[in-house]
């Protein structure tokens, strides 16, 4: 996975592309240069490197698309950012703007294990029903409930980090060989496309099988319940599934 290592700036680009897609559905190089406040030329350079690493689909005059790996990566970066910011604002009670700026710098370097611990900590604080935590000078947060933890209703052992992220086995629908079945884990298409698919029964946990590709490789035909649906590769790449 050595070649997948991204520089800090490329990570920023990827994150920005993801955010713009969420906002507007379509990304043009100009949007990126406006958001990051950099020149169009550097955007083009960065897009090329991202395309080489197969994180985005980029060709001139076409809207930029995230590949499934790109999407995963972008979400991971964004999640790190959000976790850190939450920690700074909710736990450390730091001003929002400073929190955001610091998160932006730290998100690129923080190792996964520390991140997960932080996440658990935040969850713990947030989920404590009695809100009996208080910031105590020099010793950090303490539970001030006199009864102690015995009667605390929190199930610390099974505390699950609230994480809608994809599981380890998640792949895009396009990675499923023809004739094989898979379970839908997540759809991350734009609003109306996603609604249409949901109406047609493509929902979380539905079992879908890949029937065939069109003669020219696009679209793809899938079978769900008892009906066959054709959809474009572009949309299918945003359906995450696991083999069953």
Partner 1 sequence: MKDIRVALVGNPNAGKSTIFNSLTGAKQKIANYPGVTVDIKQGTIKHKDINIVIYDLPGIYSLFSQSEEEIIARDFIVTEKIDVILNVIDVSNIDRNLNLTLQLMDLNIPIVAILNMSDIAESNGYSIDYTKLSSMLAVPVVKAVGSKGVGSQNIVTEIERLANGEWINNYPRIDYGQDIEAEIENLCKQLVIPDEISSKYSKRYVIIKLLEDDESIHEKIYVGKNIDYIRRSKEKILSLTGDDSAVLVSYARHGYITGIVRESVDKRVIDRINVSDKLDKVLANRVIGLPIFFGLMYLLFQMVFTVGGPIMEWIETGFGILSEAVHNNWNTETLPLLRSLLIDGVIGGVGGVIVFLPNIILLFFAIALLEGTGYMARVAFIMDKIMNKFGLQGKSIIPMLVGFGCTVPAIMATRTLDSKRDRLITMMVAPLVSCGARLPIYALIIPAFFAEDVQAAMLFLIYIVGIVLAIIFSKILGSTVFKGEARTFIMEMPPYRMPTFKGLLIHTWDRSYMYLRKAGTMILAVSIIIWAMMTFPALPASEVEMYEAERTAVISSDILEDEKESQILGIDNKELEAGLVYSVAGRIGKAIEPPLSLLGFDWKIGVALIGAFAAKEVFVAQLGIVYSIGEATEESQTLREKLRYNYSSLVALCIMLFALISTPCVATMVVTAKESGSWKYAAMQLVGLTLLAYIISLIVYQVGTFLGY
Please identify, using beta-carbon distances, which residue of 46 and 71 lies nearer to partner 1: 71
3 state DSSP class of 146: coil
In the region spanning residues 36 to 95, those forming contacts with partner 1, defined by CB under 8 A, are none
The DSSP result for 75-120, as a single string, is HHHHHHHHHHHHIIIIIS---HHHHHHHHHHHTTT--HHHHHHHHH
Provide the minimum distance between the beta carbon of 198 and partner 1 in the complex, in angstroms, as a whole number: 5
In the region spanning residues 7 to 36, those forming contacts with partner 1, defined by CB under 8 A, are 25
Residue 54 neighbours by CB distance under 10 Å: 13
Q: Please name the helix (run of DSSP H) or strand (run of DSSP E) that holds residue 195, with its range, or none.
A: helix 191-199
Please identify, using beta-carbon distances, which residue of 140 and 167 lies nearer to partner 1: 167
Alpha carbon of 110 to those of 27, 79, 90, 102, 115: distances in Å? 28, 12, 19, 12, 7
136 binds partner 1 (CB under 8 A): no
Site string for partner 1, 157-196 (x = CB under 8 A): -----x-x-------------------------xxxx-xx
* Contact residues for partner 1, defined by CB under 8 A: 25, 162, 164, 190-193, 195-201, 203-204, 211-219, 221, 223, 225-232, 235
């Amino acid at each position: 996975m050595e070649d997948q290592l991204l520089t800090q700036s490329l990570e920023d680009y990827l994150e920005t592309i993801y955010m713009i897609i969420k906002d507007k559905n379509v990304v043009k190089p100009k949007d990126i240069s406006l958001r990051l406040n950099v020149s169009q030329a550097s955007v083009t350079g960065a897009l090329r490197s991202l395309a080489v690493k197969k994180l985005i689909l980029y060709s001139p005059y076409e809207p930029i698309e995230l590949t499934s790996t790109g999407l995963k990566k972008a979400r991971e970066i964004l999640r790190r950012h959000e976790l850190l910011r939450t920690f700074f604002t909710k736990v450390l009670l730091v001003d929002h703007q400073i929190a955001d700026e610091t998160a932006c710098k730290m998100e690129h370097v923080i190792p996964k294990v520390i991140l997960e611990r932080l996440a658990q900590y935040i969850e713990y604080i947030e989920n404590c029903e009695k809100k009996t935590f208080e910031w105590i000078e020099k010793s950090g947060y303490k539970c001030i409930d006199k009864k102690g933890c015995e009667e605390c209703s929190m199930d610390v052992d099974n505390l699950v980090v609230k994480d809608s992220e994809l599981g380890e086995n998640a792949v895009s629908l396009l990675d499923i060989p023809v004739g094989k079945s898979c379970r839908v884990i997540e759809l991350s298409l734009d609003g109306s496309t996603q609604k249409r698919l949901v109406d047609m029964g493509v929902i979380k946990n539905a079992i879908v099988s890949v029937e065939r590709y069109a003669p020219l490789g696009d679209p793809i035909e899938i079978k769900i319940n008892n009906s066959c649906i054709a959809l474009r590769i572009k949309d299918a790449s945003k359906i995450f599934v696991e083999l069953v």
